[in-house]
Amino acid sequence: MGLFALTGLSPAEVAGTAIVTHVATGALATAAYTRSGQLRECATRRTALLLAGTAVIGTPIGVLVNTMVSTRAFGLTLGLLLLLVLVAALVWIRERRSPAAGAVPPTPLVAGLGLAVAVAAGVVGIGGPMLTVPLLIALGVPVLESLASAQVQSIVVAAVGTLGYLAHGAVDWPLAALVGIPELAGVLIGWKIAHALPARGLKYGLIVALLALAPYLALHG
Protein backbone atom coordinates (compact mmCIF):
# COMPACT_ATOMS: atom_id res chain seq x y z
CA MET A 1 0.00 0.00 0.00
CA GLY A 2 2.67 2.47 1.04
CA LEU A 3 4.94 1.38 -1.80
CA PHE A 4 2.19 2.11 -4.32
CA ALA A 5 1.34 5.51 -2.83
CA LEU A 6 4.89 6.71 -2.14
CA THR A 7 7.06 5.25 -4.90
CA GLY A 8 7.10 5.20 -8.66
CA LEU A 9 7.32 1.41 -8.88
CA SER A 10 5.20 -0.47 -11.39
CA PRO A 11 2.31 -2.63 -10.10
CA ALA A 12 4.44 -5.76 -10.48
CA GLU A 13 7.37 -4.17 -8.63
CA VAL A 14 5.11 -2.96 -5.83
CA ALA A 15 3.57 -6.39 -5.36
CA GLY A 16 6.85 -8.26 -5.81
CA THR A 17 8.78 -6.10 -3.37
CA ALA A 18 5.99 -6.18 -0.80
CA ILE A 19 5.41 -9.91 -0.96
CA VAL A 20 9.09 -10.70 -0.38
CA THR A 21 8.92 -9.09 3.05
CA HIS A 22 6.25 -11.53 4.18
CA VAL A 23 8.51 -14.58 3.90
CA ALA A 24 10.48 -13.67 7.02
CA THR A 25 7.59 -12.09 8.90
CA GLY A 26 5.36 -15.10 8.23
CA ALA A 27 8.04 -17.52 9.40
CA LEU A 28 8.70 -15.51 12.57
CA ALA A 29 5.00 -15.19 13.37
CA THR A 30 4.43 -18.90 12.75
CA ALA A 31 7.25 -19.74 15.16
CA ALA A 32 5.76 -17.35 17.74
CA TYR A 33 2.26 -18.86 17.52
CA THR A 34 3.72 -22.36 17.66
CA ARG A 35 5.54 -21.41 20.84
CA SER A 36 2.37 -20.02 22.38
CA GLY A 37 0.49 -23.24 21.56
CA GLN A 38 -2.08 -22.21 18.93
CA LEU A 39 -0.48 -24.22 16.11
CA ARG A 40 -0.27 -27.33 18.27
CA GLU A 41 -4.04 -27.68 18.25
CA CYS A 42 -5.40 -30.13 15.66
CA ALA A 43 -8.17 -27.85 14.41
CA THR A 44 -5.79 -24.94 13.94
CA ARG A 45 -3.24 -27.09 12.12
CA ARG A 46 -5.99 -28.37 9.84
CA THR A 47 -7.08 -24.84 8.97
CA ALA A 48 -3.47 -23.72 8.47
CA LEU A 49 -2.71 -26.63 6.13
CA LEU A 50 -5.83 -26.00 4.07
CA LEU A 51 -4.94 -22.32 3.70
CA ALA A 52 -1.34 -23.11 2.84
CA GLY A 53 -2.31 -25.76 0.29
CA THR A 54 -4.70 -23.50 -1.57
CA ALA A 55 -2.07 -20.74 -1.52
CA VAL A 56 0.13 -22.90 -3.75
CA ILE A 57 -2.60 -22.76 -6.39
CA GLY A 58 -4.02 -19.29 -5.87
CA THR A 59 -0.87 -17.20 -5.54
CA PRO A 60 0.52 -17.90 -9.05
CA ILE A 61 -2.87 -16.98 -10.48
CA GLY A 62 -2.68 -13.67 -8.65
CA VAL A 63 0.84 -13.00 -9.92
CA LEU A 64 -0.30 -13.68 -13.47
CA VAL A 65 -3.26 -11.33 -13.09
CA ASN A 66 -0.96 -8.60 -11.76
CA THR A 67 1.20 -8.72 -14.88
CA MET A 68 -1.87 -8.02 -17.03
CA VAL A 69 -3.46 -5.11 -15.15
CA SER A 70 -2.86 -1.41 -15.65
CA THR A 71 -1.56 0.88 -12.92
CA ARG A 72 -5.04 2.33 -12.52
CA ALA A 73 -6.64 -1.10 -12.22
CA PHE A 74 -3.99 -2.11 -9.72
CA GLY A 75 -4.72 0.96 -7.62
CA LEU A 76 -8.43 0.20 -7.60
CA THR A 77 -7.74 -3.38 -6.65
CA LEU A 78 -5.37 -2.28 -3.90
CA GLY A 79 -8.12 -0.08 -2.52
CA LEU A 80 -10.20 -3.09 -1.49
CA LEU A 81 -12.68 -0.63 -0.05
CA LEU A 82 -15.81 -2.70 -0.39
CA LEU A 83 -14.10 -5.90 0.63
CA LEU A 84 -12.58 -4.42 3.77
CA VAL A 85 -15.84 -2.81 4.80
CA LEU A 86 -17.63 -6.12 4.17
CA VAL A 87 -15.05 -7.96 6.24
CA ALA A 88 -15.46 -5.50 9.09
CA ALA A 89 -19.25 -5.95 8.92
CA LEU A 90 -18.90 -9.73 9.00
CA VAL A 91 -16.70 -9.56 12.09
CA TRP A 92 -19.23 -7.24 13.72
CA ILE A 93 -22.11 -9.59 12.91
CA ARG A 94 -20.09 -12.51 14.24
CA GLU A 95 -19.50 -10.69 17.53
CA ARG A 96 -23.10 -9.56 17.94
CA ARG A 97 -24.56 -13.01 17.34
CA SER A 98 -22.04 -14.63 19.69
CA PRO A 99 -22.26 -18.22 18.37
CA ALA A 100 -20.42 -21.05 20.05
CA ALA A 101 -16.72 -20.36 20.37
CA GLY A 102 -14.19 -22.62 18.68
CA ALA A 103 -16.28 -23.40 15.61
CA VAL A 104 -14.59 -25.48 12.91
CA PRO A 105 -15.70 -24.28 9.44
CA PRO A 106 -16.34 -26.93 6.75
CA THR A 107 -13.28 -27.92 4.70
CA PRO A 108 -14.66 -26.66 1.35
CA LEU A 109 -15.40 -23.27 2.90
CA VAL A 110 -11.90 -22.88 4.33
CA ALA A 111 -10.37 -24.06 1.06
CA GLY A 112 -12.43 -21.58 -0.95
CA LEU A 113 -11.52 -18.77 1.42
CA GLY A 114 -7.85 -19.69 1.19
CA LEU A 115 -7.89 -19.79 -2.59
CA ALA A 116 -9.63 -16.43 -2.91
CA VAL A 117 -7.29 -14.74 -0.45
CA ALA A 118 -4.22 -16.26 -2.12
CA VAL A 119 -5.27 -14.90 -5.51
CA ALA A 120 -5.86 -11.44 -4.03
CA ALA A 121 -2.56 -11.60 -2.16
CA GLY A 122 -0.73 -12.59 -5.32
CA VAL A 123 -2.22 -9.67 -7.22
CA VAL A 124 -1.43 -6.89 -4.74
CA GLY A 125 1.47 -8.33 -2.73
CA ILE A 126 -0.14 -8.62 0.70
CA GLY A 127 0.74 -11.57 2.91
CA GLY A 128 -2.81 -12.79 3.38
CA PRO A 129 -3.56 -12.34 7.11
CA MET A 130 -5.11 -8.91 6.54
CA LEU A 131 -7.99 -10.66 4.77
CA THR A 132 -7.81 -14.18 6.16
CA VAL A 133 -7.93 -13.30 9.85
CA PRO A 134 -11.22 -11.32 9.85
CA LEU A 135 -12.84 -13.81 7.48
CA LEU A 136 -11.92 -16.76 9.72
CA ILE A 137 -13.21 -14.89 12.75
CA ALA A 138 -16.46 -14.25 10.89
CA LEU A 139 -16.70 -18.02 10.30
CA GLY A 140 -16.39 -18.70 14.03
CA VAL A 141 -12.68 -19.43 14.42
CA PRO A 142 -11.22 -17.90 17.63
CA VAL A 143 -9.01 -14.83 17.20
CA LEU A 144 -5.64 -16.30 18.17
CA GLU A 145 -6.24 -19.46 16.15
CA SER A 146 -7.20 -17.31 13.14
CA LEU A 147 -4.00 -15.31 13.50
CA ALA A 148 -1.89 -18.45 13.79
CA SER A 149 -3.44 -20.17 10.76
CA ALA A 150 -3.11 -17.07 8.61
CA GLN A 151 0.60 -16.76 9.39
CA VAL A 152 1.26 -20.25 8.03
CA GLN A 153 -0.65 -19.31 4.90
CA SER A 154 1.41 -16.14 4.56
CA ILE A 155 4.67 -18.10 4.34
CA VAL A 156 3.41 -20.05 1.32
CA VAL A 157 1.84 -16.99 -0.31
CA ALA A 158 5.06 -15.02 0.13
CA ALA A 159 7.38 -17.81 -1.01
CA VAL A 160 5.37 -18.72 -4.11
CA GLY A 161 4.70 -15.06 -4.90
CA THR A 162 8.38 -14.19 -4.55
CA LEU A 163 9.32 -16.86 -7.07
CA GLY A 164 6.68 -15.60 -9.47
CA TYR A 165 7.74 -11.97 -9.27
CA LEU A 166 11.43 -12.89 -9.45
CA ALA A 167 10.69 -14.57 -12.77
CA HIS A 168 9.39 -11.20 -13.98
CA GLY A 169 12.35 -9.28 -12.51
CA ALA A 170 9.96 -7.33 -10.30
CA VAL A 171 11.63 -7.34 -6.87
CA ASP A 172 13.49 -4.31 -5.46
CA TRP A 173 15.70 -6.05 -2.88
CA PRO A 174 17.14 -2.97 -1.10
CA LEU A 175 13.64 -1.56 -0.65
CA ALA A 176 12.35 -4.94 0.50
CA ALA A 177 15.03 -5.04 3.20
CA LEU A 178 14.28 -1.47 4.25
CA VAL A 179 10.60 -2.32 4.70
CA GLY A 180 10.94 -5.90 5.90
CA ILE A 181 13.37 -5.49 8.79
CA PRO A 182 11.10 -3.15 10.81
CA GLU A 183 8.19 -5.47 10.01
CA LEU A 184 9.93 -8.24 11.96
CA ALA A 185 9.85 -6.12 15.09
CA GLY A 186 6.18 -5.36 14.39
CA VAL A 187 5.38 -9.07 14.24
CA LEU A 188 6.72 -9.70 17.73
CA ILE A 189 4.98 -6.63 19.13
CA GLY A 190 1.70 -7.71 17.52
CA TRP A 191 2.05 -11.24 18.87
CA LYS A 192 2.52 -9.93 22.41
CA ILE A 193 -0.44 -7.55 22.08
CA ALA A 194 -2.65 -10.34 20.73
CA HIS A 195 -1.95 -12.43 23.83
CA ALA A 196 -2.29 -9.51 26.24
CA LEU A 197 -5.72 -8.27 25.12
CA PRO A 198 -9.03 -10.11 25.66
CA ALA A 199 -10.61 -11.69 22.56
CA ARG A 200 -13.45 -9.15 22.48
CA GLY A 201 -10.97 -6.27 22.53
CA LEU A 202 -9.02 -7.82 19.65
CA LYS A 203 -12.20 -8.17 17.57
CA TYR A 204 -13.25 -4.56 18.09
CA GLY A 205 -9.70 -3.40 17.41
CA LEU A 206 -9.74 -5.31 14.14
CA ILE A 207 -13.03 -3.72 13.11
CA VAL A 208 -11.73 -0.23 13.84
CA ALA A 209 -8.49 -0.87 11.96
CA LEU A 210 -10.29 -2.19 8.88
CA LEU A 211 -12.75 0.68 8.76
CA ALA A 212 -9.92 3.18 9.20
CA LEU A 213 -7.81 1.53 6.52
CA ALA A 214 -10.50 1.25 3.86
CA PRO A 215 -10.87 5.00 3.11
CA TYR A 216 -7.07 5.42 2.97
CA LEU A 217 -6.74 2.62 0.45
CA ALA A 218 -9.60 3.95 -1.62
CA LEU A 219 -8.13 7.46 -1.75
CA HIS A 220 -4.78 6.11 -2.89
CA GLY A 221 -6.27 3.63 -5.36
pLDDT at 218: 47
pLDDT at 12: 83
CB-neighbour burial class of residue 78 (10 A; exposed 0-12, middle 13-18, buried 19+): buried
- The CA distance from 6 to 74, in Å, is 15
Burial track 152-185 (b if 16+ CB lie within 10 A, e otherwise): bbbbbbbbbbbebbeebebbbeebbeebbeeeee
Q: Which residues contact 171 (CB under 8 A, 6 or more apart)?
A: 13, 16, 17, 20, 162, 165
Task: Give pLDDT tens digits along the chain (221 positions).
Answer: 555 555 667 778 888 888 998 888 889 889 989 988 889 899 999 999 999 999 999 999 999 988 887 766 666 656 554 566 566 556 666 665 555 556 678 999 999 999 998 988 888 887 778 788 888 888 888 888 999 999 999 999 999 999 999 998 988 888 888 877 877 877 777 777 776 767 666 666 766 666 665 555 544 44
Tell me the one-letter amino acid at 198. P
